[in-house]
Chain A
């Protein structure tokens, strides 16, 4: 039995699929598009039921990609049952989609979710009357607490009922939705905690400082709190590499290289996990849509949306989840412009490069230089996005932001959401890194044992003339090349090749770190850009970021040379 979960955004469909399947669901994409698809299985009284969580939509007019995917799924795949999830606190708005779903004449069950919150707001729904009007079973639920799930399972086994077809045109359906809501909803208005909190979080003056406060807390949680785990994993992998390297033989050499490569990625797993935990809390608490609203006016100057800044901020942690997070941007043109701007955000892996050079060249103003590099990345990213939106992904975009109620996130839900995202990251990045570790070992070990005469050294020497205007040594070029695999490898290569960094002048050093902060995204990021936008745009991103980085470094050399 195949059951499609359909509903508006933020009505708790993910919590519902979680409760119905016991967390046994996978996250993937719908065929041919980058719209996220969650699919889970459950055995209900011995019968296997497959649940498909369709994207959250307000209507089925196929204007946005999400609406098109949902509509196509219902028309082409014809599920056995539709479970229409509705937010009990906002029945009227949700009912418009319900009335559109009646047109498909597929058996349906209506789930009134978050009834506890509705009751707290003084809203009571006559579900029996609603069921009579629509001609389908109506089940009251609190999905994130597992309430009403058994009733829903019983109704699913009964197979639902084909709904009465109500309303023909858009206007008629809107009118009928209003009338039904008036008939079945009884409101005894009370001021809720959610409305109270909006006074602070949406305050005209304090809203933005509160947003930056929360972002800073998220970063502190991601980096400082996760640090002992990062060091522990690093220690384990270093010892493992030492243990493997103590044995002689080709197989051990390759194995040590693979373990080192995989370790260089896994070492950041705690950061990524903590970042996702923080983001899941912000998302599930209902704060994210508020942040989007607060930042929308700033981002619109660059023809982006408030949602873009969330992905860009995530890019400071790691570009890979940041690119994946753009999926929440409904407009495809804005989403693509945001994806291409993200590689300019300085991810945590680039920080060691900045620290290495600033300690040598700018010991007194290191923090200022590093902060300037972060601002350089943001500025270049925003200007690039404006360029892409003006020249390539043209067109105005409108969107609706629904402000859901604040909720205390459920720990199980936070962990489940985090695990599903981390798993996705591990699957994608892990496979590439293992392959590249073997390749890196080969190019730095052959044809001769030392790096200088290896393929990597030879490639570095042949590419070095491109960087002649900057006056960088070929070994520094090799380091940048290895940074293509993962940015943290740059410092490792510099150490491995015994590069005398102090031999550069400050202008050369500044141009080098500026280049490192802007140039080609790492392989894992390229892989996800390819997944989100296709091969052509992944290649474009490589060339575009390289060109921008090159021009900026050249400008630094030019201006610096003129000033000094």
Chain B
């Protein structure tokens, strides 16, 4: 079930990024969503682990891009920033922490 929820979340992020014309980021979201969906279909936890790592990394990167493009525009006397819905990948942190705990035992 966890895989399905995260799969749908990332799928939505991808669709929203497509609607904003952000095709490359939507490709990333769709790929991560496919990883979660495959995990759900084949019922293997390994896909949730990989998906969680990718989703969290992408979320963190989207946050970094948002902050740095804001800083950059600020340096040029404007206030704008690049936003990607991939930032919601940060929501994979709880899953990532659960996995980490399990494998470090």
Residues of A within 8 A of B (CB): 192-193, 196-197, 199-201, 203, 206, 209-210, 212-213, 216-217, 220-221, 224-228, 231-232, 235
Contact yes or no, B31 A199, CB < 8 A: no
Is B49 within 8 A of A200, CB to CB?
yes
Q: Are A209 and B31 in contact (CB-based, < 8 A)?
A: yes
| Contact residues in B for A203 (Cβ distance below 8 Å) | 38
Shortest Cβ-Cβ A-B pairs, 4 listed: A200-B50, A199-B46, A196-B46, A228-B71
How many residues of chain B get a CB closer than 8 Å to chain A's CBs? 32
B46–A220 CB distance below 8 A: no
A200-B51, A209-B34, A232-B75 given as contacts; is B64 within 8 A of A221 (CB)? yes
* B28 x A213 contact (CB < 8 A): yes
Let me know if A196 and B24 touch, CB within 8 A. Answer: no
Q: Does B76 contact A (CB under 8 A)?
A: yes
B7-25 interface code vs A (CB 8 A; 1 in, 0 out): 0000000000000000011
B75 touches A213 (CB 8 A): no
Q: A227–B34 contact, CB under 8 A?
A: no
Q: Contacts A217-B57, A224-B69, A227-B72 given; indicate if A193 touches B103 (C-beta within 8 A).
A: yes
| List of A residues within 8 angstroms of B49 by Cβ | 193, 196-197, 200
Task: Report if A217-B28 is in contact (Cβ < 8 Å); known contacts: A206-B34, A224-B82, A235-B75.
Answer: yes
- A200–B65 CB distance below 8 A: no
**B76→A213 contact, CB < 8 A:** no
Q: Are B54 and A210 in contact (CB under 8 A)?
A: yes
| CB-CB under 8 A for A227 and B103, given A199-B47, A206-B38, A210-B31 | no
Q: Which of B48-105 contact A (CB under 8 A)?
A: 49-51, 53-54, 57-58, 61, 64-65, 68-69, 71-72, 75-76, 82, 99, 103
Cα distance, A199 to B44, chains bound together (Å): 9
Residues of A within 8 A of B25 (CB): 216
List 23 contacting pairs A-B, 8 Å CB cutoff, sorted by A.
A192-B103, A193-B49, A193-B99, A193-B103, A196-B50, A199-B50, A200-B46, A200-B54, A206-B34, A206-B35, A209-B34, A210-B31, A212-B31, A213-B32, A217-B57, A220-B61, A225-B64, A225-B65, A228-B68, A228-B71, A231-B72, A231-B75, A231-B76
Contact A228 to B103, CB < 8 A, known contacts A200-B35, A210-B54: no
Known: A193-B103, A200-B47. A224 touches B24 (CB 8 A): no
Complex: chain A residue closest to B51, CB-CB = A200
Minimum distance in angstroms from B60 CB to a CB of chain A: 10
Q: Which residues of A contact B34 (CB under 8 A)?
A: 206, 209
- B47 near A228 (CB under 8 angstroms)? no
Q: A197-B46, A217-B61, A231-B75 are in contact. Are A225 and B28 (CB under 8 A)?
A: no
Report whether A220 and B65 are in contact in the complex, using a CB–CB cutoff of 8 Å.
yes
List 6 extra interface pairs beyond A196-B50, A216-B24, A231-B76, CB under 8 A. A196-B46, A197-B50, A206-B38, A213-B27, A213-B58, A231-B75
Residues of B within 8 A of A231 (CB): 72, 75-76
Chain B residue contacts of A226, Cβ below 8 A: 68
Complex interface: chain A residues within 8 A of B44 (CB): 199
Bound complex: CA A314 to CA B53 (Å)? 23
CB-CB under 8 A from A221, the residues of chain B are: 61, 64
Q: How far is the CB of B50 from chain A (nearest CB, A)?
A: 3
CB distance from B69 to the nearest CB of A (A): 6
- Nearest-CB distance from A363 to chain B (Å)? 16
| A203–B44 alpha-carbon span in the complex (Å) | 13
| A206-B34, A210-B35, A231-B72 known; A216 vs B28 contact (CB < 8 Å) | yes
Which A residue's beta carbon lies closest to that of B24?
Answer: A216
Which residues of A lie under 8 Å from residue B76 when comparing CB positions? 231
Contacts of B64 in A (CB 8 A): 221, 224-225
Cα distance A123–B51 in the bound complex, in angstroms: 28
**Which of A209, A213, A225, A226 is most buried by chain B, counting CB atoms within 10 A of its CB?**
A213
Report the Cα distance A210→B30, complex, angstroms.
10
Residues of B within 8 A of A209 (CB): 27, 31, 34
Contacts of A193 in B (CB 8 A): 49, 99, 103
Which A residues lie within 8 Å of B51 (CB)?
200
Q: A217–B68 contact, CB under 8 A? A: no
